[in-house]
A and B are shown apart, each in its own frame.
Chain A
Amino acid sequence: MNVVSFIASRLLQMVPVLIGVSIVVFLAIHMVPGDPVELMMHGRATPEGLAAARAELGLDQPLLVQYWNFISGAVVGDLGTSIVQKAPVSEVVGERILPTVLLLVMSSIFAIALALPLAIVSARRADQPIDHAIRLGGMIGFAMPPFWIGIVVMLTFGIWLDWFPISGYGRTFWAHVYHLVLPSFTVALFLAPILLQSLRAAILDVMTADYIEVARAKGLSERRILVKHALRNALIPVTTILAVNIGWLLSGAVVVEYLFSFPGLGSLLVRAAGQRDYAVIQGLSVTFAVLVLVVNLIADLACMAIDKRVARA
């Protein structure tokens, strides 16, 4: 009941944000100098052809009417038609959502698997040589551009060692996972430094809390204190940080998808941007915004599950 009403109120809060997103994208696209139809047809169409294309797309109507058409369609899942792809945008975008979500999930798992043990070691040996080494490693990792990491990963594991495929997506679920190993490892290498830094800070912060000393006074082992008390509490800020960085994660995913020719939202965006396929860009922007908002909602729910105080707020 409580959780349901929480979700409902959060979904309601998303509405104005999504309207804002759609207005920004819509205005940006329609106020560009130059006619999108002309650009798309590369100037080869006759004036009659252009007019027909405009009428077909509803581009001859007033801006407000066009926006209304866009938004009322979007509500029922109709995002318009891509002239370049000659297919409904919802279809073009829709079939790429699952691969990208899968990539994000796998990258997050890899990133946590990389960052968590390092963060624990770093926090427990704070200001000792091993901590300095791990933090310097984190900084170097942070400074590595994702496409460059991708190239190095591709070269090492895909070409020299030839362990995993360097492009494509496969047909079955396990084939998907197999194809996703290198792209998600790349995104994880890019995400892990941020995670490492915030996890280390969160663990250090929690380890100085009074209840940790109380747990020691109770005669619990350091291991139990770390796992049962510190980590669980440190998870809360980290979940929030992961959610805040979802935009960051997606940005990394865009480049990596392009590099690995992976059929996700990111590679579609790069292609649509190159082709100036405005309908697809518009649809993708809204899709990305929804994705970010949903991930934030899930993170809030996770925090609620871990910490009962959040539920009351």
Chain B
Amino acid sequence: MTAIPTQPRGRLLTEITRWPGSLKIGTVLFVLICLAGIFAPWLTPYGPNEQDLKNTLVAPSLAHPFGTDNFGRDVFARVLYGIRINLPFGIITTYVPMIYGVVLGALAGYWGGWFDAILMRILDVTVAFPFLVLIIVIVAILGPGIHNIYIAIFLTAWTMYARLARAEMLVERNKDYILAARTLGYGTGRIVFRHALPNVSNSSIIFSTSDFVLNIMLLSGLSFLGLGVAPPTPEWGAMIAEGRDFLFDAWWICTLPGLALVVTGTALCLIGDGLAQRLGERRHALV
């Protein structure tokens, strides 16, 4: 019944061959994007904030594959360096809240009682706020800047995971293997974390890829609204916002960073779609 495969190392390759096509393609794309971010200095001769006032608003060419912006900065270089901001942000804001969200939700589902009641009330309140509105309110109170966005997301993003894990735990806790663990006299910690957690985190793992996309989009959206990272940081959303003023003369400044967002998001969606298939298959195969 283990949902997350814990394969011996030698079997990783056989596991990969069983992946659905979407998972393979998504993973390859995602790894390529990560590598492009890591090796950005080797992939472009320009720095992200290197201005060349003689070559402003140059259309895409061999020298500047994505053109240059109003300060003569190379858009391609900025997009590459942007990976270093957007991807780590996405990873941290997705997986940190996921960890405590799933744990809280699983415990609430397992224990029930007052703990569950309090958690549910909190979830009720956060669900009545549109997510972006809540973040904007928090950022408005704390002031703009990437640190405050982190705080805002840590305060809110766990709720969805708690909801998912709680719902699955409610089903899971009545299954025979949990009862068996109980009759064996295992403690709550062992039952919840060793036995149930792998099974209640499936939907959270699948949701996390969409959440990842949403979080990257959120950072870009906030930067676009002027509440995110400050210029001249090469963040994709901020680049789109800056390019907006030159929409007419230089379409590449805001459309091409957007394309980077779309490619990254699509890679993550493909991974999510493939994971859903693979984890679903495992479940079907094992039930």
Contact = CB atoms under 8 A, between A and B. Distances in A.
B192 interface: no
Contacts of B125: 17, 20-21, 24
B145 interface: no
Nearest to B243: A151
Contact of A273 (B140, B224, B244): B140
A255 B240 CA distance: 13
B109 interface: no
A67 interface: no
B138 A28 contact: yes
Given A151-B254, A254-B136, A273-B137, A143 B128 contact: no
Interface string A224-251: 0000000000000000000000111111
A258 interface: yes
Chain A facing B: main interface SS: helix
Nearest to A28: B141
Nearest to B127: A247
Contact of A289 (B129, B136, B269): B129
Interface in B233-265: 237, 240, 244, 247-248, 251, 254-255, 258, 261-265
Interface string B47-61: 000000000000000
Contacts of B270: 139
A246 B128 CA distance: 9
B273 interface: yes
B40 interface: no
Most A CB atoms within 10 A — which of B127, B136, B226, B266? B136
A246 B273 CA distance: 23
Interface SS of chain B: helix
Nearest to B261: A145
**Chain A CB within 10 Å — which of B140, B220, B258 has the most?**
B140
B129 A285 contact: yes
A146 B221 contact: yes
B225 interface: yes
Interface in A133-148: 135-136, 139-140, 142-148
Closest 8 CB pairs of A and B: A143-B265, A251-B132, A273-B140, A139-B269, A250-B130, A148-B258, A20-B125, A247-B130
11 contacts: A24-B125, A140-B262, A143-B269, A144-B261, A144-B265, A151-B255, A155-B247, A254-B132, A273-B227, A281-B141, A292-B129
